[in-house]
Structure 1
Amino acid sequence: MKIFKYLSVLALFSVSLLASQNIEESIVKIYTVSKIPNYTTPWNSSIRRSHGSGSIISGKRILTNAHVVANETYIEVKRHGDTKKYEAEVEFISHQADLALLKVKDETFFKGTKSLKLDGLPKFEQEVAVYGFPMGGDSLSVSRGIVSRIEHNRYAHSREIFLSIQIDAAVNPGSSGGPAISDGKIVGVVMQQMKRSQSIGYIVPMVMINHFLDDIKDGKYDGFAHIGITTQMMENSAIRDVYKMDNSITGVLVIDVSEKSSAYNKLKKGDILLSLDGHSVQDDGTVEFVKNKYTSYKYYIDKKQIGESINIEVLRDGKKIKLNLHLENIADDNMLVNTLAHDTMPKYLMYGGYVFTPLTRNLIMNSRSTLLPLREAAGKWACEKKDEVVILLKVLAFDTNRGDHNFSLWMIDKVNGVEIKNFKHFVKIVDESEGKYLILENKDGVKIAIDREDAMKVEETILKRYSIDNAKRL
């Protein structure tokens, strides 16, 4: 009997060891060379070398984070247990969900490998193992922990809020993109760690990964739908009475709707959002996504693909109304200032030493600006009249622009009396202007006058003085 028990334990150990070896053979180290834009001097960029992790999945593809390969100029991959690096390229990328799929140019890279299988949403306190190459090491590292929380959080790469899984396994730089494994299957992709904490990391859950993989089946990436509304919790009894909500009703108050959103002219300010596809919205803005577990009501919107519809129920003037919304937009379509940009260089126009650019979240973050108007603009909806903010980024000092050298991060609302719709419209006005002066004006009536003839004369001199190759990137 004792011999049988010993053999059974030995057999289980052997199976576990074999399973671990199969997983290890499917883990990849990713080497990335990136071109990093400089949003405060948009004509400049720098080169950065970094590394991350990934895993081999079906279709001879490597699943990793978007931020591991963002702004890439060259990618190499190396399998665990191998010394040879292979050139790879991005096949699809979702900066929203911080996910990417790579393909390797030489398919002999996959010889002898097995694709890791994908699982579903893990349970609370379920054990997970994180595989990757943290802190610059060439040897594979495995850390273990449990699922400690599942809820919506802000993704550091896109600054958008989506479902994420918190784990207490050690997650460090270099681990990004590696798989979180439970029962031999992928339950998420390692994404980020909580600063100033110990052993608190976050992974992208399978609901996000499956959405991404389903999205790209037609050969292009569309993104995650954005409904384009602002809501307020309804936990206070007085505000509930104002909107005729009895004790049997829960929901959130719609306080604003983006003019660009498909919800515009369907949802109205003052509506109470009661349910999404039959799932009740609670007074704190959450929905039940598994039994007795709640997260943001965005959960049921995030599950939809662009082009799909969602059924909603609202309380309007004390009456329940059912609506159907066709989901057409991502967040960037609805917002005045886009989410963080990647894989693109910033646009700019230099005119007589005055440097103009669209306002971006990259610029706000990189300049560490505390200017309230810029941050307020980042929270506003786009509309037909204005769908992008144009700013005077800085003034490159020259004798023709004396007196204006201190202008920086200055929002422009009008050019020669014409209200600006976006940066493209701004450039068109500048190019087609025929008067002696170009008059810039903000919403407070402050004006800057640029002598067009002087600006054109000194352009080449200013470019040479400040070592700038081109006066614009549009």
Structure 2
Amino acid sequence: MRSRSHVFGFVASLLLFPSALSRGAESAGNSVENSVVKIFATVRYPDYFRPWAKLAPMEVTGSGVVVRGRRILSNAHVVLYASQVQIQANQAGDKLNAAVEFVAPDIDLAILKLEDESFFDRHPPLPHADALPDVRDSVMVYGYPEGGSSLSVTKGIVSRIEYVPSMFRAGNLLIQIDAAINSGNSGGPAVAGDKLIGLASARLDGADNIGYIIPTEEIELFLKDTEDGRYDGKLGMYDELQTLENPALRAFLKLPASVEGIVVHKPNTAIPNNPLKEWDVITKIGDTPIDNQGEVRFSPKLRVRFPYLIQRIAKDGKVPLTIFREGREMQVQMPLSTKRPMVIPSLEDRYPSYFVYGPLVFSEASNEFVSSFRRSDFGYVGPMLALGGSPLYRRIGDAPAYEDEALLIVSSPLFPHRLSTGYSNPVGQTVKSLNGKPIRNLKHLVETLRDCKDEFIAVEFDIRGFETFVFKHAEMLSATEDILSDNGIRSQGSPDTMAIWNAKQAM
């Protein structure tokens, strides 16, 4: 036990030398600042209504942090579709060339590598926290938001931790904080003490002090996934589920009072030999019980949706589940997948494929194409398509009806030409058939046109109240080159479609 004189001497030393109190915190702050970089990216996003072209270059800035492997971590949305990337360290004058090595739009993370790796000799990686923070823990966010050019540091607390599901991909764990996050903060580190607890990712527009960070647990999964030189994606379950809160539902399923869990509404038919059946009740994931809202107790202070545990306990592409079926409990090994098959998928980091035939431009539907209507000159088209029963809206979230199904669309207005006289603007229309033959996808369309021997081509659309376009096939073929030249289009199609079209020469 310390004597009173020793205690007095210790307090006196702190009073005489107050800098001793802050030296540790200052050292931690300097360490973090040395690991944060500003990112400069020149991006060219796709032009969904002119798929042969890209939008004009845009200059985007964001933030990043040094991680192990002599790499820099940032958000995918900072460098998505980047043609040039540079980074600049805190208080440095020079910018260094970088390249995007991996990008994962599904979890909004990206890894950059530098041409000159000697940079990392002076800028070591920031250590990662090995556990989630607690609600009300203090957090500091570092980055380069708008409003200035130097490094910004904001302070707040952890407000909430939640596993956020997604209709289109595996869900992600997110940490909500009240520290200010603004445009340019994206990709910057969120730190507790001297350790990384997450990466600034987004803010809630229209709300005060609601920002989100991607926790280190998600970051570690991403880094581990890319160690083999490619990004495969997060494993997930894509069965449709519903809660077990309604008493009538429990009575219908004849469940004992002791049974709690989540109900299988529609099993994922894309999984071969899916062990789940309609009306199964999933009661446990691994050894962890699932409650009637589909949540699990992760810690004494935290409940999250049960799919969160997939990333913790999955092995060899499967996760153990306990289910209750027809009056008895059983264990199953649930196969997982990295993507949910969608008839209207996301482009992620790809540019859309296309093919020009006369005054028509064909492409395949994507989530980005559908969502871009409201931000374009064709904002009026979306509601008209929805009212007409277009599959572009009717089938959002659907799995393909067969293996290679994709929605074939007309992505652009008709090019001005005498061949299009009298026809309505077909932008966004889904092609149902050519000359009565159902069309499966863009590749099938190009093959059909390539091999066509008919005098006429009749294009039928899958919507109520829209006309069928009829053209003379020979006239469409002869007009295409002039239409391309008149509109400054360098190629009749994207490389994948032209490979199919030109295969005719070898037949």
TM-score, scaled to structure 1 = 0.92
Instruction: State whether structure 2 residue 251 is matched by structure 1 residue 233.
Output: no
Identical residues among aligned pairs (%): 30
Distance 1:60 1:159 in 2: 29
**Displacement of 1:442:** 4.2
Q: Which residue of 2 aligns with 1:359?
A: 365
Instruction: State whether structure 2 residue 125 is matched by structure 1 residue 115.
Output: yes
Distance 1:415 1:128 in 2: 59
Q: Which deviates more, 214-223 or 417-426?
A: 417-426
3-state DSSP class of the match of 2:423? coil
8 Å Cα contact 1:75/1:88 also seen in 2:
yes
Q: Which residue of 1 aligns with 2:409?
A: 391
Distance 2:29 2:367 in 1: 42
Instruction: Name the CA shift for 1:464/1:307 in 2 (closer, same or farther; >3 Å).
Output: farther
Instruction: State whether structure 2 residue 477 is matched by structure 1 residue 470.
Output: no
Residue of 431, 441, 450 corresponding to 1:412: 431
Q: Which deviates more, 15-24 or 310-319?
A: 310-319
8 Å Cα contact 2:31/2:194 also seen in 1:
no
Q: How does 1:374-389 map to 2 (within 5 A)?
A: 374-385=392-403, 387-389=405-407
Higher strand share: 1
Q: Which residue of 1 aligns with 2:3?
A: none
Question: What count of residue pairs does the alignment treat as equivalent?
Answer: 469
Distance 1:52 1:390 in 2: 36
Paired residue type of 2:194: G
Distance 2:422 2:291 in 1: 56
Instruction: Name the CA shift for 1:411/1:319 in 2 (closer, same or farther; >3 Å).
Output: farther
Instruction: Name the CA shift for 1:255/1:442 in 2 (closer, same or farther; >3 Å).
Output: farther
Q: Which residue of 2 aligns with 1:298?
A: 307
Instruction: State whether structure 2 residue 14 is matched by structure 1 residue 11.
Output: no
Distance 1:297 1:281 in 2: 7
Cα deviation 1:1-55 (Å, max 9, x = unaligned): 3522325743121121122111111110011011111101212212111110011
Q: Which deviates more, 392-401 or 10-19?
A: 392-401
Distance 1:355 1:307 in 2: 43
Instruction: Name the CA shift for 1:103/1:385 in 2 (closer, same or farther; >3 Å).
Output: closer
3-state DSSP class of the match of 2:163? strand
Paired residue type of 1:338: P
Q: Which residue of 2 aligns with 1:29?
A: 38
Instruction: Name the CA shift for 1:419/1:276 in 2 (closer, same or farther; >3 Å).
Output: farther
Instruction: State whether structure 2 residue 168 is matched by structure 1 residue 147.
Output: no
TM-score, scaled to structure 2 = 0.87
Distance 1:138 1:187 in 2: 24
8 Å Cα contact 1:230/1:256 also seen in 2:
yes
RMSD, aligned α-carbons = 2.3
Cα deviation 1:378-419 (Å, max 9, x = unaligned): 211124355321112232232212232322211223333333
8 Å Cα contact 1:314/1:320 also seen in 2:
yes
Q: Which residue of 2 aligns with 1:322?
A: 331
Q: Which runs of 5+ in 1 are unaligned?
A: none
Instruction: State whether structure 2 residue 144 is matched by structure 1 residue 137.
Output: no
Q: Which deviates more, 135-144 or 312-321?
A: 312-321
Q: Which residue of 2 aligns with 1:62?
A: 72
Paired residue type of 2:355: L
8 Å Cα contact 1:54/1:177 also seen in 2:
yes
8 Å Cα contact 1:386/1:420 also seen in 2:
no
Instruction: Name the CA shift for 1:352/1:84 in 2 (closer, same or farther; >3 Å).
Output: same
Q: How does 1:25-174 map to 2 (within 5 A)?
A: 25-45=34-54, 46-119=56-129, 120-135=131-146, 137-153=148-164, 161-174=171-184
Cα deviation 1:251-303 (Å, max 9, x = unaligned): 222222333224x5422222222222232222222222333422222212344
8 Å Cα contact 1:32/1:72 also seen in 2:
yes
Cα deviation 1:170-221 (Å, max 9, x = unaligned): 0000000000000210000000000001211000012211110111122211
3-state DSSP class of the match of 2:135? coil
Instruction: Name the CA shift for 1:183/1:398 in 2 (closer, same or farther; >3 Å).
Output: same
Residue of 227, 247, 266 corresponding to 2:275: 266
Instruction: Name the CA shift for 1:307/1:432 in 2 (closer, same or farther; >3 Å).
Output: farther
Paired residue type of 2:402: E
